[in-house]
Amino acid sequence: MDFRSFDAFNRRDLIRGAAMLGAGAMAMRPLPSLAANSQSAAIRKAAEAGKDASIKRLRDWIALPSIAAENRNMAEGAAHMAELARDAGFANVEIVPTDGHPGVFGTIDVGAPRTLGIYFMYDVKQFDPAEWSSPPLEGRMVDRPGFGQAMMGRGAVNQKGPEATFLAALHAIRAAGGKPPVNIVLVCEGEEEIGSPHFRQIATRPNILSALRKCEGIFIPAGWQDKNGNVSVNLGSKGVIELELIASGEKWGRGPKADVHSSLKAMVDSPAWRLVSALNTLVTPDGNTPAIEGWFDNVRPLSDREKALIREAAKHLNEAQQKQLLGVSHWIDDLPYEDALIRLAQEPTVNIEGLVAGYTGPGGKTILPGRAVAKLDLRLVPDQTRAEAEHKLRTHLDKHGFSDVEMNVSGGYDPTETDENSRLIRTELATYRRLGVQANLNARLAGSWPGATFTAPPVSIPAGHFGIGHGAGAHAPDEYYLIESTNPKVAGLVDSTMGYAEFLYTLAAIR
């Protein structure tokens, strides 16, 4: 339902070995110097000269955490974002109101034939300073063995670090006396971490929609190189719905409205058992295939090309290592690895994220809970849609007699796909090639991000992720973003800055 899913999959689970298609152990060339022309050299010189300013820019941004879930620093965060955009050369920067928290929009129009869209988030995930080894708002430099010196702070990699690095590229181009080789459209939201509930309002605002539709494509800056320097180029992502199913005496009209003593079970119905009964209708007995009526009506099987991409990518993966890191000894149905990876991309899922009812502490407590909650995420594949899925789940529950079981949908995205032949993806691949970075084509990310806001009508442009560099700890304590790399395969701040510059010039030049 949100970018964090994607991010978590690529960063947190990468550490757990789950970055399915980016964890190969390819022999890598060291990072080369960028395209050997004088313009490039001037930009690099400017990026080096501006490094301290770039670091300060990131540190200052980390010091201002905007957290939509806590309604913390939202107006301040939007204002700061607007200021960052103006400083980097964006014109007509405006703070865009929504029914929730505001977004930011700006453009750089250099009169170039091509235009690139850039998607930013200015919000960060909640955090508990007590869990951190370094104060999460101070952006201190810490050593990350195997990588180098990194800035530690909330939002460091998710997503302020990569975003600030993209801005650093614009500063460097300007400082080198040039201007970007493509026009740039920036759209930014402050609710990514709560599932982008109002982002569509921003993207479809007439002036913004008009600007986005001129773009070759749009990406979010990302710093997801693994320790071998590899990255993934994602051609699509599953959609997702996050929701709670709630059985309660209140809505059911049976059972207690609040917790009562458990001895009463012999005369009082149980909302917890009702939830179990409702859940049991949603999947096959093995828990692995959705059994919601009509769920597969619009499921389009993977194409042969997509399957081939997955099989190709699998060659770079280490099944035994991944199993060990995930703590998994068998894939579903004991599938061979390649088939499991195809299943991963192909199948919609109904997953239990959490169960909460009654007493949840240590030991027991003799109560009959008045309310029971299952937190589910439902991953969707093309051509399912979020609206269709929500409707089918509700209809299914009603038809099975569970019309009292509440569906509390907190967020979701449609599935998204981007053509590998689009100029955006071709530019990503060409840029990575020029940077000497191994990029694996990922047919479909099993995680989810709001790419469909861009790829679906009315915007209808390619969307993806781009960037070199490295960080980890998204949503977790001790989040960091690499500044000074000691790993020759992984980019530090200046090389990452040059990566974005390289992308812009490649996009301007590619056929």
Instruction: Using the minimum distance from each CB to a copy of itself, give the nearer residue, 446 or 490.
Output: 446
For position 492 contacting a copy of itself by CB under 8 A, the verdict is: no
Instruction: Report d(CA 276, CA 291) in Å as an integer.
Output: 15
Give the closest residue to 477 by CA, choosing from 138, 222, 128, 148.
Answer: 128
For position 347 contacting a copy of itself by CB under 8 A, the verdict is: yes
Q: What is the DSSP letter of 303?
A: P
Give the closest residue to 490 by CA, choosing from 230, 103, 123.
Answer: 230
- Smallest distance from a copy of itself to CB 298, Å: 17
For position 15 contacting a copy of itself by CB under 8 A, the verdict is: no
For position 301 contacting a copy of itself by CB under 8 A, the verdict is: no
For position 93 contacting a copy of itself by CB under 8 A, the verdict is: no
Give DSSP secondary structure letters for 379-427. EE-TT--HHHHHHHHHHHHHHTT-TTSEEEEEEEE--EE--TTSHHHHH
Q: Which of residues 178-197 bind a copy of itself (CB under 8 A)?
A: 194
Instruction: Using the minimum distance from each CB to a copy of itself, give the nearer residue, 172 or 376.
Output: 376
Residue length of the chain? 511
Q: Which of residues 230-249 bind a copy of itself (CB under 8 A)?
A: 238, 240, 242-244, 249
**Cβ-count burial 144-175 (b if 16+ within 10 Å, e if not):** beebbbbbbbbbbbbbbbbbbbbbbbbbbbbb
Instruction: Using the minimum distance from each CB to a copy of itself, give the nearer residue, 47 or 272.
Output: 272
Residue 413 near residue 449, CB atoms below 8 Å: yes
Q: Which residues partner with 231 through β-bridges?
A: 439
Angle between helices 161-175 and 51-62 (to 10 degrees): 150
Q: Which of residues 360-389 bind a copy of itself (CB under 8 A)?
A: 360, 362-370, 372, 375, 377, 379
Instruction: Using the minimum distance from each CB to a copy of itself, give the nearer residue, 226 or 242.
Output: 242
Of the listed pieces 222-230, 358-366, 476-484, 497-505, which binds a copy of itself according to CB under 8 A?
358-366
- Smallest distance from a copy of itself to CB 54, Å: 31
Residue 138 near residue 121, CB atoms below 8 Å: no
Q: Which of residues 406-445 bind a copy of itself (CB under 8 A)?
A: 410-411, 445
Of the listed pieces 202-210, 224-232, 250-258, 476-484, which binds a copy of itself according to CB under 8 A?
250-258
Of the listed pieces 160-168, 215-223, 345-353, 490-498, which binds a copy of itself according to CB under 8 A?
345-353
For position 287 contacting a copy of itself by CB under 8 A, the verdict is: yes
For position 447 contacting a copy of itself by CB under 8 A, the verdict is: yes
For position 343 contacting a copy of itself by CB under 8 A, the verdict is: yes
For position 356 contacting a copy of itself by CB under 8 A, the verdict is: yes
Question: Helical H runs in 64-132?
Answer: 74-87
Q: Which of 29, 56, 261, 391 contacts a copy of itself by CB under 8 A? A: 261
- Smallest distance from a copy of itself to CB 50, Å: 36
Q: Which residues partner with 241 through β-bridges?
A: 378, 412
For position 454 contacting a copy of itself by CB under 8 A, the verdict is: no
Instruction: Using the minimum distance from each CB to a copy of itself, give the nearer residue, 414 or 502.
Output: 414
Instruction: Report d(CA 298, CA 308) in Å as an integer.
Output: 22
For position 341 contacting a copy of itself by CB under 8 A, the verdict is: yes
Instruction: Report d(CA 164, CA 385) in Å as an integer.
Output: 33
**Which helix (H) or strand (E) segment is 497 a member of?**
helix 493-509
Instruction: Report d(CA 52, CA 60) in Å as an integer.
Output: 12
Residue 149 near residue 142, CB atoms below 8 Å: yes
Q: Which of 327, 421, 457, 511 contacts a copy of itself by CB under 8 A? A: 327
For residue 12, what are the CA distances in angstroms to 127, 157, 439? 16, 11, 19
Instruction: Using the minimum distance from each CB to a copy of itself, give the nearer residue, 2 or 495.
Output: 2
Instruction: Report d(CA 152, CA 165) in Å as an integer.
Output: 15
List the end-to-end C-alpha distance of the chain, in Å, as a whole number: 34
Instruction: Using the minimum distance from each CB to a copy of itself, give the nearer residue, 65 or 181.
Output: 65
For position 446 contacting a copy of itself by CB under 8 A, the verdict is: yes
For position 494 contacting a copy of itself by CB under 8 A, the verdict is: no
Instruction: Using the minimum distance from each CB to a copy of itself, give the nearer residue, 51 or 465.
Output: 465
- Smallest distance from a copy of itself to CB 22, Å: 14
- Smallest distance from a copy of itself to CB 458, Å: 28
Of the listed pieces 225-233, 293-301, 313-321, 350-358, which binds a copy of itself according to CB under 8 A?
350-358
